[in-house]
Structure 1
Amino acid sequence: MKKAGIIMIIGSLLLLGLFKFPLWNIMLGAPQYPDPMGMDIYITGIRGVEEFDIQNIDGLNHYIGMQKIPKPEAMWEFEVFPLVIGGMAALGVVLGILGFFEKINYKWFLNWLILISVLGVLGMYDFNAWLADYGTNLDPNAIMKMTAPDGSPMTYKPPLFGNQKMLNFDVASFPALGAYLMFAGMALTLLAFFLGKDEWTKKHNYS
């Protein structure tokens, strides 16, 4: 399973792109802000797309009672996620090496893919829960108290995925380069599984 092992190694290493590039991006645009403001979400913290974006977003959020964008030390996720990604990348490389030398069969590649997929779903669930808390847990003493058409307090949860109108802001939330590298790595591991299955079947049919 030499080809499959090499592809498995490459796919696993692509996860390390998350240490360099953002996983997710949220942009806010409004008529009075010709240059949109944005947040890049990394596995190690949240940074502004431009230098003062975080400061400006926090300033606007203050008026409607939203929390400040958290520092890395304020969220356990920014300590755990790097360990999870690093561990999964290392595990994938080990499986690829063992597959290259035919010490394991192709099914291990699929097991790795299932595990990273489950962890990804849990990560997205946690991210969405944070967005919900960020947009709904408002300071009751806020300067501006906006209400929905039915009279209930307005919430400002950004979308997990896609575009949404909030007051006079257009909010867009989409995967960033780190996420695409991770998806590419997962696709390669799926390819490694099928190639490994083909190589394994041919070898054992002819042996």
Structure 2
Amino acid sequence: MSKRLSTQSTILLFVSAGLLVVSIFLQWWGMKFYAPQYPQGLNIIVYPYKLAGEIDIVNSLNHYIGMARFSEESFPELQYLPWIITGMGLLIIITALVRRRSLLYGVIGLFIIGGILGLYSIRYWLVKFGTELDPMAPITIDPFVPPIIGRNTIANFETISYFSYGSFVLGFVFLLLLYPLWKERKKG
């Protein structure tokens, strides 16, 4: 079996590196809050480098149940995640230039580890914010953990958690990384 990647596979690796870097500027995950007083919903939108949405309003409401404030400083990942993504993009480019399957296996392994760590991080913060409630808050509710994806009810709010565009781009990048191995599996 040949250990070198074809020209087509090399081009796909360059495309995947470009898409990976573009994903930095797209939202990856979000949560929407609906209540009778907010029928249009309030958003928390997570990019790899910042939070967006109606964060101030959500924080003012969360205060009543004793939840810690959301801020970019609360999530250290937002400080270094763009650098990790850029580094992964550079590893993919190096793999494309060297054209070695063994390097591609390594990149795919790192990508899988990064995905697992990313899901763990989301879950960690959902548990931390939902269970470490101030017992002296004006409104007492039971600790809760919203799902990474799906619906949840917290007091009079219904929340919907979802992956967004950037996450879909990451999934497509992963498929582009796998494609050369599948395409060239019988080559040699």
Shift of residue 126 of structure 1? 1.6
Query: Could you say which residue in structure 2 is the equivalent of 1:190?
Result: 178
Alignment equivalent of 2:139, drawn from 136, 144, 153: 144
Determine what percentage of the aligned residue pairs are the same residue. Answer: 26
Query: Could you say which residue in structure 2 is the equivalent of 1:150?
Result: none
Tell me the distance in 2 between the aligned counterparts of 1:14 and 1:196: 22
1:23 and 1:178 in contact (8 A); partners too: yes
Counting only pairs closer than 5 Å after superposition, residues 2-41 of structure 1 correspond to structure 2 as 2-41=7-46
TM-score normalised according to structure 1 size: 0.83
Query: Could you say which residue in structure 2 is the equivalent of 1:205?
Result: none
Q: Which runs of 5+ in 1 are unaligned?
A: 147-153, 203-207
TM-score normalised according to structure 2 size: 0.90
User: Residues 156-180 of structure 1, C-alpha deviation per residue, up to 9 Å, x if partnerless?
Assistant: 4321111112222111111110010
Tell me the distance in 2 between the aligned counterparts of 1:131 and 1:74: 12
The count of residues paired between Structure 1 and Structure 2 equals 183
Q: Are 1:170 and 2:175 matched, yes or no? A: no
Q: Which runs of 5+ in 2 are unaligned?
A: 1-5
Alignment equivalent of 2:111, drawn from 110, 116, 129: 116
What amino acid maps onto 2:84 in structure 1?
V
Highest CA radius of gyration, 1 or 2? Answer: 1
Structure 1's consecutive aligned runs of 4 or more residues displaced over 6 angstroms after TM superposition are: none
2:25 and 2:48 in contact (8 A); partners too: no
Q: Are 1:158 and 2:150 matched, yes or no? A: no
Query: Could you say which residue in structure 2 is the equivalent of 1:98?
Result: 98
Query: Could you say which residue in structure 2 is the equivalent of 1:67?
Result: 68
SS in 1 for 2:87: helix
SS in 2 for 1:43: coil
Tell me the distance in 1 between the aligned counterparts of 2:183 and 2:12: 9
User: Residues 177-205 of structure 1, C-alpha deviation per residue, up to 9 Å, x if partnerless?
Assistant: 0010011011011112223444xx24xxx
